[in-house]
Chains A and B, each alone.
Chain A
Amino acid sequence: MPWGKVGSRSTASLPPEPVDIIRSMSCYRRVKLNVGGLPHEVLWRTLDRLPRTRLGKLRDCKTHESLVDICDDYNLEDNEYFFDRHPGAFTSILNFYRTGKLHMMEEMCALSFSQELDYWGVDEIYLESCCQARYHQKKEQMNEELKREADTLKVREGEEFDNTCCSEKRKKLWDLLEKPGSSVAAKILAIISILFIVLSTIALSLNTLPELQDTDEFGQTTDNPQLAHVEAVCIAWFTMEYLLRFLSSPNKWKFFKGPLNVIDLLAILPYYVTIFLTASNKSVLQFQNVRRVVQIFRIMRILRILKLARHSTGLQSLGFTLRRSYNELGLLILFLAMGIMIFSSLVFFAEKDEDDTKFKSIPASFWWATITMTTVGYGDIYPKTLLGKIVGGLCCIAGVLVIALPIPIIVNNFSEFYKEQKRQEKAVKRREALERAKRNGSIVSMNVREAFSRGAELLDVVVMEKGERTQDNHLSPSRWKWSSKRAASETSSNRSFNPDQGSPSKARASSPQRLNAQKLEEMYNHMAKTQSQPNLNTKDRGSSRAGHRRDEIELGALPGQGGDPLIGGREGVVDMKSLSSIDSYISCATDFQENPRFPYSPAGGLSLPESSRFSHSPGSGLSSRVSANPSLQTTLEHETMLTPPCSGAKPLNSEGSCLSGGPLSDSSILSDHSILSPEVSVYTTASSRTPPKTPERKALTPAVFTFHDASISKYIDADTDDEEHLREGGPSERLLGGLSSKPRLSGYQGATNHLEAAQRLLGQNCLFPLGSSPSVGHENHVASENSRRPKGDRGHSNAFDKGL
């Protein structure tokens, strides 16, 4: 029953007086901490060991506001404080208070752990050495991956064609030449290009056959005329290709610098240089140096075989691997060099007294040592004395060993990169599929947050003193923590980490001790220009920009605010909540609360005495789901949104059951749901592409996809699956209705998210008359309660029992 009381506290009754809080804190030696449904009990004394951390500050809280600031909910009578965070990570963090040793659970993701550390205000430097290495490695790896992904995204989608004339045509040309996957014509073009490359290399080789060569007037051998024609045609094709690419490229300088384009250029240039030299110096061609230069340029023609790299990811990953493992390659060469040095001098001393020996000097025997160590063994030089043969045998074995040692490391690098490359290819395919779906007007996915998080990761984040937190950004922790937390506790399994991982930087960005809102805003603005734009381009309607979007949001928000707060009574309460949810929605979408462009920012909402209560819990609760995903156009959501009625009823009911003290039977849940579902579906089916009529819907729409959006592209594969599930699951669940869908729903967060969202809806609109306990009837839309319930139900039912 504790939550029932809490619920009443945060909605109907006034917040407790500071006196009560102080009394409650002083009369207990211990404190109960409920983190994500998992109860902990700890001595106040223990928490005081780290007074600067979040838990340490809990003790110093004297007022309701400061308490809500630190924890998500509390119950003074039970001396219980609720934090909506990952329970697994908290166990290790609480042990840090107890033992002074901070360890990371082995199965915990490093990124989500760092996010948790941020939230609890513990510096990651206190991580014990044994975990530290793993933690940092993982983190670095992750950051690197994110960076690389951002780079590729930039490369792939950062092209803008809006600066000059006929941008449309140029974009088409660019797609045709650079993206063989974009259309059939492009694919054919790529194949033709490959054929030309192969043809030209064959011609180049045939040219050197003596039977096919001609002799010129100086008696020198020259090219066969037929092959010369082939060569000319190939070069013409290459030149044309290069020029077209160059003309259509959005960024000329970057194009010029690209390694693949440099190779292209090198493949073409020798031909023209040769022509130029032969034409201008026909008379002096017999001069040796000119001919030598020409010869060198002829050899450079062989570079065109590298042009194949453009068409093969395998070759590209080989190049990348070599670049990345230059350390190990250096090691390999060093090993070999030392072995060659040692064995050649040994064999020299062993063989030098032999008659007509070929080991005339140490440098001369280098060749022998190389050929032996690499086990090639031409047999042009070989030792003849016994000593020499012994040295030779050792040299063979040492060579095998020395070459074999560093190669596994290089191989490892290669396979890692190759896997990565393949994954990215898959991700691109998925993205293209998404785009196609969007063009058909069926899907929306919002990647503002993803892009934002990536950007935040890359940008240097300003660390702020924790104490300087302002009223305005105090909401942010609770905001972002809701999404990750909820999702995490929902499934209490490995996948529950996904959202945490997904928005690490976002979490950091919004975590109070790291950033101030202004900084964030600057960052965001910057990012909206640079980072998120490519994402938006692809993921959203194709051309929508962050600015655009924000305007849309504003549009949506203002009408809602105009009307709603004026309504009094119970509706007033509802509206209040929706208002705050809008606000936080807006601010989440852009991720700042202080954005001057939003006249009704949550700060404003907070200043209203009536709404303040809601903006703490419900508002923030909603916004979390909402956070950062303002994409408003949906179809997929529409389908999935229909699921809430069935699933929404369940948690709500369980909430009701806890309020009434006894669990309700399943049948009652079903009936509730059946009554409710039409109401909800009205909400959910309404098109969200138009400016929303009700703020709730708007807030809800993005909620559906928080999960996808949160998961980094590393999980894109899994992501796709989920999305498909969602797509299938949405309607089917709608059909199934009721409880049968529940286990499935709890499987993935996307669904559960809007499940809760729906629950909220229900609470606001029609459910409370149905609430089983009359005393709570008008209070059951308290967000904290709503949102906590399902989690307790599903994830940690045993803990929940204890709490009850």
Chain B
Amino acid sequence: MWTLPRTRDEKEIAVNIGGVRLVLCGDILNRYPDSRLAELVNCPTRSFDVISSLCDDYDPGKREFYFDRDPDSFKCIVEVYYFGEIHMKRGICPICFIKEMEFWKIDLSYLDECCKSNLTEKEEELAEIADKVKLILDDLDCDPNVSRTERWQKFLWKFMEKPESSLPARVIAVVSFLFILVSSVVMCLGTIPDLQVEDSEGNRVEHPSLDAIETACIGWFTVEYVLRLASSPNKVRFALSFMNMIDFLAILPFYVVLVLTYLGTAMMELANVQQAVQALRIMRIARIFKLARHSSGLQTLTYALKRSFKELGLLLMYMGVGIFVFSALGYTMEQSHPETLFRSIPQSFWWAIITMTTVGYGDIYPKTTLGRCNAAISFLCGVIAIALPIHPIINNFVIYYNKQKVLETAAKHELELMDSSPHRTEREPVKKKSLT
């Protein structure tokens, strides 16, 4: 009876983790022989070197090993010996926790799934912040050992792409914004019949002064695009990026029209040319999307829509089903009326859309009682069909919108930290060095 405790005594070790004392059983620790504590238990010689390589301090009197680590994290980590899995306590930073696990030489796979998702979430967030910081830093740093043309290119890039980098760059951005507005307004005004003039063949064409403004705007857009392209470090990526595609589409129609009017007549008939020109004029609308470059809100919108592709599909599907059902119902119910406005099912599609979205123009409306009941139901279903899938889309938008704000502050802080660290090291020279 007396020998038993003694053998156990040898197998038991007392550890002191940052002031929290624990007595751990060696058998249990040996379940994970690679871990630091198991190594400590198994270490055959109690020589100072071996022990000090494993722990921070050793108290021979109390036979207590001291570790200068976070006791809270250890309490979670030690669970692996008993339960085989680790749950992170709330409030502990996952990144730090992983460091602790590495210190105790516990494999990351023991971390439970629920906590792992937490970890990945945090890692993603950090990666995003790091990206943002890198982006900002890229703007800030200037390598002295680049060639003159490269430096010039970089300067131009910053000038055209980063409105917040300098005052002239901001002016450029504002001017560009104004040009977009002006060209959009001109595009709209050009269609007003009062402002149009008749050309020699009796066709109504745009007023020459509006045409001149249009040309000027296109000129500006072209210059802007070319400068951006010239200064971009990676031409292919630049040409393929979404924003620049829009830019390109905004200027393309003008030149195509120009080419067509001068060369097209020689190749094909006049009517065809005019039709092509008309079609291309629609593409001018693309310039409105150029505004997205100047508004983070629009970018957020596009991002949210991109993220909620599924929900958008759901919305369209609901609407599609509803339109089919209710237009068919409406059509059959209205057949009894002699002067019905529902002449065919495809025609009543239009009525169904207008009713389900609660717009209700009144060009087509049911006249029989049954048809009116159907209209009421279709309106209710339309409201629900729109409201249900729209919620996740809104959620995505709000989340991304808020995240954008948070990211901005975080990136700013990161920069602040980098900025201030040179000054700070004077005051606390040991700090960063010893910690890193």
Residues of chain A whose beta carbon lies under 8 Å from any beta carbon of chain B: 29-30, 32-33, 39-43, 45-46, 48-52, 91, 94-95, 98-101, 103, 105-107, 123, 125-133, 136-137, 330-331, 334-335, 338, 341-342, 344-346, 348-349, 352, 360-364, 366, 371-372, 375-379, 382, 389, 392-393, 396-397, 399-402, 404-406, 408-409, 412, 802
Contact A345:B282 (CB < 8 A) given known A106-B90, A405-B394: yes
> Nearest Cβ in chain B — how far from A130, in angstroms?
6
> Nearest Cβ in chain A — how far from B196, in angstroms?
9
Please state if B424 and A400 are interface contacts (CB–CB under 8 Å).
Answer: no
Select one of A32, A130, A375 contacting B19, CB under 8 A.
A32
A91 to B89, CA, bound (A): 14
A43 to B17, CA, bound (A): 11
Q: Hey, which chain B residues are within 8 Å of A52, CB to CB?
A: 427-428, 431
Please state if A396 and B18 are interface contacts (CB–CB under 8 Å).
Answer: no
Closest to A35 in B: B19
Q: Hey, which chain B residues are within 8 Å of A43, CB to CB?
A: 56-57, 66, 68
Please state if B406 and A137 are interface contacts (CB–CB under 8 Å).
Answer: yes
> Nearest Cβ in chain A — how far from B79, in angstroms?
19
A661 to B291, CA, bound (A): 78
Please state if B282 and A349 are interface contacts (CB–CB under 8 Å).
Answer: yes
Please state if B319 and A125 are interface contacts (CB–CB under 8 Å).
Answer: no
> Nearest Cβ in chain B — how far from A61, in angstroms?
18
* 27 residue pairs bridging A and B, Cβ less than 8 Å apart: A43-B56, A52-B428, A95-B96, A98-B18, A98-B70, A100-B435, A123-B424, A125-B417, A125-B420, A133-B409, A133-B413, A335-B297, A335-B298, A338-B291, A341-B285, A363-B192, A371-B359, A372-B359, A375-B357, A376-B359, A392-B354, A393-B350, A393-B354, A401-B390, A405-B393, A405-B394, A409-B398
Q: Hey, which chain B residues are within 8 Å of A40, CB to CB?
A: 18-19, 71
Main secondary structure of the interface of B (DSSP, over half): helix
Q: Hey, which chain A residues are within 8 Å of B193, CB to CB?
A: 360-361
Contact A401:B393 (CB < 8 A) given known A42-B19, A103-B93: yes
User: Which residues of B372-403 have CB atoms within 8 Å of chain A's CB atoms?
Assistant: 386, 390, 393-394, 397-398, 401
Main secondary structure of the interface of A (DSSP, over half): helix
Please state if B357 and A400 are interface contacts (CB–CB under 8 Å).
Answer: yes
Please state if A30 and B66 are interface contacts (CB–CB under 8 Å).
Answer: yes
Q: Hey, which chain A residues are within 8 Å of B9, CB to CB?
A: none
Task: Return the 9 tightest CB-CB contacts between A and B, nearest first.
Answer: A100-B435, A41-B19, A377-B359, A379-B362, A396-B357, A379-B361, A362-B188, A331-B297, A361-B191
Q: Hey, which chain B residues are within 8 Å of A50, CB to CB?
A: 428, 430-431
Closest to B414 in A: A129
Select one of B96, B363, B420, B434 contacting A382, CB under 8 A.
B363
Please state if A101 and B192 are interface contacts (CB–CB under 8 Å).
Answer: no
Closest to B413 in A: A132
Closest to A28 in B: B57
Please state if B126 and A91 are interface contacts (CB–CB under 8 Å).
Answer: no
A39 to B188, CA, bound (A): 74
Contact A379:B192 (CB < 8 A) given known A51-B428, A125-B416, A130-B122: no
> Nearest Cβ in chain B — how far from A309, in angstroms?
29
B360 proximal to A (CB < 8 A): yes
Please state if B187 and A396 are interface contacts (CB–CB under 8 Å).
Answer: no
> Nearest Cβ in chain B — how far from A356, in angstroms?
13
Q: Hey, which chain A residues are within 8 Å of B390, CB to CB?
A: 400-401, 404
> Nearest Cβ in chain A — how far from B356, in angstroms?
8
B353 proximal to A (CB < 8 A): yes
Q: Hey, which chain A residues are within 8 Å of B301, CB to CB?
A: 335, 402, 405
Please state if A346 and B285 are interface contacts (CB–CB under 8 Å).
Answer: yes
Please state if B359 and A375 are interface contacts (CB–CB under 8 Å).
Answer: yes
Q: Hey, which chain A residues are within 8 Å of B353, CB to CB?
A: 389, 392-393, 396
Please state if B191 and A129 are interface contacts (CB–CB under 8 Å).
Answer: no
Please state if B93 and A397 are interface contacts (CB–CB under 8 Å).
Answer: no
Q: Hey, which chain A residues are within 8 Å of B409, CB to CB?
A: 132-133, 136-137
A341 to B186, CA, bound (A): 12
Closest to A46 in B: B68
Q: Hey, which chain A residues are within 8 Å of B95, CB to CB?
A: 101, 128, 130
A136 to B359, CA, bound (A): 45
Contact A33:B188 (CB < 8 A) given known A100-B436, A125-B413, A360-B193: no
Q: Hey, which chain A residues are within 8 Å of B297, CB to CB?
A: 330-331, 334-335, 406
Please state if A128 and B435 are interface contacts (CB–CB under 8 Å).
Answer: no
Contact A341:B406 (CB < 8 A) given known A41-B16, A382-B361, A405-B301: no
Would you give the 0/1 interface string for B326-369, flagging 1 where the beta carbon is closer than 8 Å to chain A? 00000000000000000000000110011001111111000000
Please state if A396 and B427 are interface contacts (CB–CB under 8 Å).
Answer: no
B189 proximal to A (CB < 8 A): yes
B306 proximal to A (CB < 8 A): no
A45 to B68, CA, bound (A): 10
A361 to B195, CA, bound (A): 10
Select one of A42, A91, A408 contacting B398, CB under 8 A.
A408
B207 proximal to A (CB < 8 A): no
